Amino acid sequence: MLRVLQISDTHLSPTKRHFACNWEPLRAWLVEQKPDLVIHTGDVTVDGADQDEDMSHCAELLTGLGVPVLSVPGNHDVGEAYHPHQPVNAERLARWQSHFGTDRWVRDLESWRLIGLNAMLFGSDSSDEARQLAWLEQQMQQAGERRIAWFLHRPLFIEAPEEGDMGYWSVPPAPRAKLLELVRKHEVAIVASGHLHRAHDLVLDDTRYIWGPSSGFVVGPALQPGMAGATSLGAVVYEFDGAGFSAAIHEITALQTLWIDDVIHEVYPPRAA
Ligand SMILES: [Fe+2]
Ligand SMILES: [Fe+2]
């Protein structure tokens, strides 16, 4: 049996230390779990998209866990498609790569193929987006009998696969449709995401869609009115046993419930147009 832990949205920085107090309790819990692998589903940093020291600080923290870690980038790590101030681009992706390795990866564990995706490319209409999709199709085709689990920052959808554009919160409808086609064709067992800072577990057409909670901070209802899922901090525990698996969202009670609403003006101040 293999134990994989998903963590997400740590939002750490050596200069903006608003959520730093939650690293030590997370670290202690992770090490105590004796995982075979830890997967970070993005927003590792407060602002790695612009601050190199956020990247080096967080890479050091993850290495310091002393267990294998694979990460995929979030919007605060590499920017996002068509963002006026922080567009995802070659320079930002190169910075990610130099600190955390490739922005997409495949890891075969016994009967499973785990695939990490760079969700920030979806909807960017870039050659890199096309390359990643072609790479993904190839990895799926070559999976053979292995069951497949995806890990990415943004969820494919919030309420329903056919919903319209949810803006900031999820993958836009056009790239989403292509990804869902692959999910169905290859019977993807797990689609695990972060970004929302909410914990949620939904089964749809035999696919488990899991929103991994943040271990850094939660988001108040003013910013996410009526959104599904639970306002809690923690991680997700996956156990892979042959072709079977279990997945459980685990609330880590040692984490301090910090609200972004209280500090957003300091952590992510609005920019002049
Ligand atoms: Fe986040
Ligand atoms: Fe995010």
For the sheet containing 37-40, what is the strand order? 69-71, 37-40, 2-7, 234-241, 244-251
2-267 CATH, one of 2.40.50.100, 3.60.21.10, 3.20.80.10, 3.40.50.10490: 3.60.21.10
Mean pLDDT of the chain: 97
Q: Residue 145's pLDDT is what?
A: 96
Q: What is the pLDDT of residues 153-190, one digit of tens each?
A: 999 999 999 999 999 999 999 999 999 999 999 999 99
Q: Kindly state the percentage of the chain with pLDDT values over 90.
A: 99
**154 C-alpha vs ligand 1 centroid, how far in Å?**
9
Ligand lying closest to the C-alpha of residue 77: 2
Q: What is the mean pLDDT of residues 122-138?
A: 98
Is the predicted pLDDT of residue 272 greater than 90, yes or no?
A: no
Q: Residue 271's pLDDT is what?
A: 84
35-38-43 Cα angle (round to 5): 155
Ligand lying closest to the C-alpha of residue 216: 1
Residue 238 exposed, middle or buried by CB count within 10 Å (0-12, 13-18, 19+): buried
Q: Kindly state the percentage of the chain with pLDDT values over 70.
A: 99
Q: What is the mean pLDDT of residues 119-148?
A: 98
**243 C-alpha vs ligand 2 centroid, how far in Å?**
31
**227 C-alpha vs ligand 1 centroid, how far in Å?**
15
**11 C-alpha vs ligand 2 centroid, how far in Å?**
9
Q: What is the C-alpha to C-alpha distance for residues 273 and 268, in angstroms, rounded to an integer?
A: 15
Q: What is the C-alpha to C-alpha distance for residues 247 and 208, in angstroms, rounded to an integer?
A: 9
Residue by residue, what is the 3-state secondary structure of 12-25?
ECCCCCCCHHHHHH
Q: What is the pLDDT of residues 200-248, one digit of tens each?
A: 999 999 999 999 999 999 999 999 999 999 999 999 999 999 999 999 9
Ligand lying closest to the C-alpha of residue 152: 2
Task: Write the Ramachandran bin of 11: left for phi over 0, alpha for psi from -120 to 50, otherwise beta.
Answer: left
Which residues are close to ligand 1, an ion, with C-beta < 5 A?
9, 43
Q: What is the mean pLDDT of residues 117-128?
A: 97
Q: What is the C-alpha to C-alpha distance for residues 225 and 202, in angstroms, rounded to an integer?
A: 19
Which residues are close to ligand 2, an ion, with C-beta < 5 A?
43, 74-75, 195
Best CA proximity match to 43, nearest among 4, 87, 75, 65: 75
Is the predicted pLDDT of residue 273 greater than 70, yes or no?
A: no
